[in-house]
Amino acid sequence: MKKYFNYDPLKPLLSVNNKALKYFITRDLLNKKVDTIRDLWSLPSAQEIFKKQQDDGSWKYSTKKMNVQDQKLYNQIETYRQLGILTEKFGLNNENSMIRKGVEFLFKFQTDEGDFRGIYGNQYS
């Protein structure tokens, strides 16, 4: 690692009190064996995100003044955002029922052409 940087960043990164960060550094940068990724799924910071998931699988976008149609579109982007955090920070995947439920919510917005509208305003992805 030091051949790419002026100093080795692993020591300060590993000194941070963040189990998820340490897991990915150990697995991906140090190429060492780690416990199952499912251990990250039960971390308090991941569970805080799950507590906010709605019954329909979405995460609610927080704002006071919004019409119903806008709320659905903003819930779509908030769900997309929270799923991104859960998959990138905590390694969650489709083995987790709450992730599947969130993805099912998003797929309700998929058009016949296969794209998703509403996440980026009038743009599609």
In a domain, 69, yes or no: yes
30 in the same domain as 78: no
> In one letter, which amino acid is 19?
K
- pLDDT level of residue 8 (50, 70, 90 thresholds): confident
88 in the same domain as 54: yes
pLDDT for residue 16 is more than 70: yes
The model's pTM is 0.83
119 in the same domain as 100: yes
57 in the same domain as 20: no
Average pLDDT of the segment spanning 3-16: 87
36-50, 51-65, 90-104: segment of lowest average pLDDT: 51-65
48 in the same domain as 32: no
Instruction: Give the count of domains, the chain.
Output: 2
Beta strands in 1-125 (DSSP E): 117-118, 121-124
57 in the same domain as 117: yes
What pLDDT, in 10s, does the model give residues 56-89? 999 998 876 666 567 778 899 899 999 999 999 9
In a domain, 105, yes or no: yes
Pairing state between β 121-124 and 117-118:
antiparallel
In a domain, 1, yes or no: no
In a domain, 56, yes or no: yes
Q: Could you tell me the residue range of the domain that residue 93 belongs to?
A: 42-124
In this structure, what token pair is assigned to residue 100? 């599947």
Which has more pLDDT, 72 or 103?
103
pLDDT for residue 123 is more than 70: no
102 in the same domain as 63: yes
Question: What b/e sequence results for 47-75 when a residue is b if at least 16 CB atoms lie within 10 Å of its CB, and e otherwise?
Answer: eebbeebeeebbbebeeeeeeeeeeebbb
In a domain, 2, yes or no: no
- pLDDT level of residue 124 (50, 70, 90 thresholds): low
114 in the same domain as 55: yes
In a domain, 119, yes or no: yes
pLDDT for residue 125 is more than 70: no
Average pLDDT of the segment spanning 1-24: 88
